[in-house]
Structure formats: C-alpha cells, structure tokens
Amino acid sequence: MDPLSTLVHTILSQNTTDITSDRAWKALRRKYRTMESLARADRDELAETIRMGGLADIKAGRIIQALNDIRELTGRLSLDFLRDMDEQEVDRWLSQLKGVGPKTRAIVLLFSLDKTAFPVDTHIFRVTKRLGLVSPSADREEAQEKMAELSKPVDYFSYHVNIIEHGRKVCSARRPKCYQCLLYDVCNWSEKKEHRE
Ligand code: SF4
C-alpha cells in the first residue's frame, strides 16, 4: 500500500479490530475512489461511511484534516516523497500532522516505506510492560524506542506481528492466560501468579 493510503488506513484502525477497520477501509474506498474526493468529503458523510469502524466522527475529522494538511504543506496529495528521507526526517515530517501519533508514524515507516521503526500498539504496549522489556512508566514513544533498541531491524516486522498475536490470544488485558503462557518464567508481571490457574 502506498504511504498515503497506509496513513488513512491506520487512522481508521485506531481503537478497533483488524476486521472492522478493513470493512471501514473497503467502504471508504468504494465511496471515495480518489484521495482528492476523500479530501473534499463532507465530514458527516464520511463518518456515516466508516461508522462500522468505531469512533467514526473523530476518525473522519482526522482523515480530512490530515489530507488537507498534506496538500497545504506539499501542494499535492501524496506521501511518496517520504521515500527519499531517512527515518528521523520522515518521523519529524509526519509529526506535523494533527492526529497522527507515534504508532501511526511507525506503521507508515515500517509497512509502506520499508524503513526501520517499531510500531507499538495497545497489545504490544501492555505485553512488553508486563514482560519487563519496557519500563512501567514509559509512554508509547519511549516504548517504541526501547523495542527498536532491543531488537534487530530485520526482526521488527515479525516481533511486531507476533507480540500482537500473543497479546490477543494469551496475554489479554483482562484475563491473561498466564497458566498456558510459554513466557511465564521470564515474565516480570507482579500479578502473573493470580492468573496461573
Ligand atoms: S505470563 Fe501472563 S502476563 Fe506474562 S506474558 Fe505471559 S500471559 Fe502475559
């Protein structure tokens, strides 16, 4: 996916599951065939189109704002020019956009620009803190930096995907299955014993 589409798709995926954000993405692309038409979209109409993805009013506003900011800053609706920048430059450039946080920036870097970044979503944030890889007081940005430091760039993609899977299937927020977790012995979480049975 090109970087601009990845940016929009990632905004849609905030606080929802892959299945619902994919549905919202397909509905959005059916209605708005070009980024031009999406940038000109009526906010309420866009929110209706992506309603199934949750937080539709907020996401619609963020998408329209991001597209219009990009056009204002570059004179066009494309982020392909980011391919010629290094990671820090891309991160700095994207951080000018309202509503585009560290996770979204890292996803654009890793998944559509093939650059090194370690996106930390809500599952990775929880699991790495419980394991003790990331300090309990770290914010999302610090967690991304720490995970990038702890792993080799070649492993970022697979660690990212596998830790999310672990967070969804085993180390869930409310009822972690510590009793069947392969990482039990190396996990630092003080409450793990309570979830052993
Ligand atoms: S032992 Fe429990 S808290 Fe620790 S990683 Fe496994 S499931 Fe998560």
For residue 63, report the distance from its CA to the centre of ligand 1, in Å: 36
Contacts of 13 (CB under 8 A, 6+ apart): 21, 53
Q: What is the pTM of this model?
A: 0.83
| Environment class of 43 (CB within 10 Å of its CB; exposed 0-12, middle 13-18, buried 19+) | middle
Query: Between vectors from CA 21 to CA 48 and to CA 94, what angle results, nearest 5°?
Result: 95
Is it the case that residue 14 has pLDDT exceeding 90? no
- Mean pLDDT, rounded, for 59-70: 96
| More confident of the two residues 196 and 67 | 67
Q: Scan for tokens 């720490």, then name that residue.
A: 146
**Residue 180 pLDDT level (bands cut at 50, 70, 90):** very high
Determine the Cα–Cα distance for residues 145 and 86; give it in Å rounded to an integer.
Answer: 16
Residue 15 zone, left/alpha/beta (φ > 0; ψ -120 to 50; rest): left
Is it the case that residue 35 has pLDDT exceeding 90? yes
Catalytic residue among 59, 103, 115, 192: 103
For residue 108, report the distance from its CA to the centre of ligand 1, in Å: 29
- Mean residue pLDDT of the chain comes to 94
Q: Which amino acid is it at 129?
A: K
Chain segment 93-143, per-residue pLDDT in tens: 999 998 898 899 999 999 999 999 999 999 999 999 999 999 999 999 899
From the CB of 183, is ligand 1 less than 6 Å away? yes
Residue 114 zone, left/alpha/beta (φ > 0; ψ -120 to 50; rest): left
According to DSSP, residue 154 is labeled G
**Residue 87 pLDDT level (bands cut at 50, 70, 90):** very high
pLDDT at 104: 92
Q: Kindly report the backbone phi and psi dihedral angles of residue 156, in degrees, each rounded to the nearest multiple of 5, phi listed first.
A: -55, -50
From the CB of 128, is ligand 1 less than 6 Å away? no
To the query of whether residue 103 is one of the catalytic residues in this protein, the response is: yes
**Residue 197 pLDDT level (bands cut at 50, 70, 90):** confident
CATH of 122-195 given 1.10.3210.10, 1.20.1260.120, 3.40.50.300, 1.10.1670.10? 1.10.1670.10
CATH 1.10.340.30 fits 3-112, yes or no: yes
Cα 9 to chain centroid distance, Å, stands at: 9
Domain boundaries along the sequence of the chain:
3-112, 122-195
From the CB of 176, is ligand 1 less than 6 Å away? yes
